[in-house]
Amino acid sequence: MSKLDAALAHADAHIEESLERLKALVRIKSISTDPAYAGEVRKAAELLSADLNQLGFDASVRDTIGHPMVVAHDTAADGPHVLFYAHYDVQPVDPLNLWHSDPFEPQLVKQASGETHIVGRGTSDDKGQLLTFVEACRAWKAVHGALPLKVTLFFEGEEESGSKSLRPFLEAAKDELGVAEVALVCDTDLWNPTTPSIVTMLRGMVAEEIEISCASHDLHSGMFGNAARNPIQVLSELIASLRNPDGSVAIERFYDDVKELPADVAALWQRLPFDEKAFMAGAGLTTSAGEQGRSVLEQTRARPTCEINGIIGGYTGDGFKTVIPAKASAKISFRLVSEMDPDKIRAAFRKHVTDRLPPDATVTFHGHGGSPAVTVPSYGPFVAKAAKALQQEWGNETALIGSGGSIPVAGEFKRILGLDTLLIGFALDDDRIHSPNEKYNLSSFHKGIRSWLRIIASFAGEA
């Protein structure tokens, strides 16, 4: 029996105890956004730290300007050094009346499919995912006495409330954490219930608020209508000018730094089981409004976009008011990919707007932050090994995929620690994260633990 097989067998034999530890962690109400629960957040950090010390890690709770971090090292081995990240804080539970059971008293609910749901706040996001790695380490150590590679664990308690301490903490702990060779983050989904995924691309973002002003005060459209510049009209024309008829973004040089997907990645994406019609139907839509000639997968994960997230101007209450308002404003965001520079995109957008302003219209820009896309080389040694290990556990080829959303910690690891991040997770899009009746599949938890054992063995040259 290989070292890996022995560890897998131990994990299988002790899954009930792993589940009990997950339940104990879920019972702690570590809601980070509500100051009333600060003591519970700390209690979760202390439980994790104590358990890791007992497991032989050098673990401690680190104070920050917000909620504490947990850092734990076990770096005696000769193998490569991995930094594993997850978060132990959770979202609020309201509306409580929509929960079928106490959010903090986890229930095992058997499904008709044979699957078992572990129901409770944080079971999926992110306590269950966090423990998959801890339980893998526990199993390996239980069987073999020591880990086969260097492990640093880094758990955050503010992921659901803005991560305000993350950047200063990483800056301060740069030497301690930056010695790792690769970061592993467990906060993402499987591709589908039987297909594992590694997210290797994350879109970046630029957020802008613009306000168009024309007249010095609101005007009566009976008196000024036709002659007065209408800022809603101006804003609408500007927004209309942002997209070409083919769905692409019409800002000059917008696509300059956008790279096409490498041919092998593009080929992999085409092989992935993905039902465009079902995906769109989930939003009540039938047709992609995005760039013609691009698949929905590409559009949402590998292509940049410009979206209007909010607009307001004039009279918006009940009834009617024949006003020509003095101002109108919109919130506009851009998702970025590959080498797109947030500052360049912001400047290009502002130039696009300024160049098109008609007489008597002025614009005020207000930036709401920006971050570049994060790309992990798809075929670096760690990615290749992890992809193969995951395939062995799940039986299907690993999806190396992009994510349309932003996971800021991966960008910070790159920027501050100089580390590439492999985003590997076992959640599913029906886990109801952030919603009532959040659940994690027992198979996500169990096969998640087994997946990490395979990845640990693979990175250490034991498989």
What residues numbered 4-43 form the site for a copy of itself, per CB under 8 A?
33-35
Span 409-448, contacts to a copy of itself by CB under 8 A: 429, 432-436
Q: Which of 137, 235, 387, 463 binds a copy of itself (CB under 8 A)?
A: 235
Q: Contact between 218 and a copy of itself (CB under 8 A)?
A: yes
Q: Contact between 65 and a copy of itself (CB under 8 A)?
A: no
Span 320-379, contacts to a copy of itself by CB under 8 A: 320-326, 328, 330-331, 333, 335, 358-360, 368-369
| Alpha helices (runs of H) in 337-441, residue ranges in sequence order | 342-355, 381-394, 408-412
Tell me how far apart the alpha carbons of residues 93 and 122 are, in angstroms, rounded to a whole number.
10
Q: Contact between 307 and a copy of itself (CB under 8 A)?
A: yes
Instruction: Tell me how many residues contact a copy of itself (CB under 8 A).
Output: 99
CB of 135 or CB of 160, closer to a copy of itself: 160
Q: Contact between 284 and a copy of itself (CB under 8 A)?
A: yes
Place of tokens 């009834």: 319
Q: Cα–Cα–Cα angle for 206, 212, 217, nearest 5°?
A: 150
At its nearest, how many Å lie between a copy of itself and the CB of residue 172?
24
End-to-end CA distance of the chain: 12
CB of 145 or CB of 217, closer to a copy of itself: 217
At its nearest, how many Å lie between a copy of itself and the CB of residue 27?
22
Report strand pairing: 182-185 vs 421-424.
parallel
Segment interacting with a copy of itself (CB under 8 A) among 144-152, 174-182, 227-235, 449-457: 227-235
Q: Which of 56, 193, 247, 380 binds a copy of itself (CB under 8 A)?
A: 247
Q: Contact between 316 and a copy of itself (CB under 8 A)?
A: yes
Beta bridge partners of 396: none
Task: Say if residues 373 and 344 touch (Cβ distance below 8 Å).
Answer: no
Span 387-406, contacts to a copy of itself by CB under 8 A: 403-406
At its nearest, how many Å lie between a copy of itself and the CB of residue 326?
8
Q: Contact between 285 and a copy of itself (CB under 8 A)?
A: yes
Tell me how far apart the alpha carbons of residues 416 and 429 are, in angstroms, rounded to a whole number.
30
Question: Quick one: 302 exposed, middle or buried, by C-beta within 10 A (0-12, 13-18, 19+)?
Answer: buried
Under DSSP, is residue 144 helix (H, G, I), strand (E, B) or coil? helix
Give the list of residues 6+ apart from residue 275 with CB closer than 8 angstroms, or none.
none
Taking the CA atoms of residue 64, residue 68, residue 74 and residue 78 in that order, the dihedral angle to the nearest 10 degrees is -50
Q: Which of 110, 220, 253, 259 binds a copy of itself (CB under 8 A)?
A: 220
CB of 3 or CB of 350, closer to a copy of itself: 350
Q: What is the DSSP letter of 13?
A: H
CB of 161 or CB of 378, closer to a copy of itself: 161
At its nearest, how many Å lie between a copy of itself and the CB of residue 278?
13
243 phi/psi in degrees, rounded to 5 = -120, 140
Site string for a copy of itself, 100-139 (x = CB under 8 A): ----------------------------------------
Query: Of 353, 252, 256, 251, nearest to 306 (Cα)?
Result: 251
CB of 11 or CB of 340, closer to a copy of itself: 340
Report strand pairing: 197-202 vs 421-424.
antiparallel
At its nearest, how many Å lie between a copy of itself and the CB of residue 193?
16
The per-residue b/e assignment along 126-142, b for 16 or more CB within 10 angstroms, e otherwise, is: bbbbbbbbbbbbbbbbe
Under DSSP, is residue 327 helix (H, G, I), strand (E, B) or coil? strand
Q: Contact between 233 and a copy of itself (CB under 8 A)?
A: yes
Q: Contact between 309 and a copy of itself (CB under 8 A)?
A: yes
Tell me how far apart the alpha carbons of residues 259 and 339 are, in angstroms, rounded to a whole number.
8
Q: Contact between 162 and a copy of itself (CB under 8 A)?
A: yes
At its nearest, how many Å lie between a copy of itself and the CB of residue 455?
24
Task: Say if residues 213 and 231 touch (Cβ distance below 8 Å).
Answer: yes
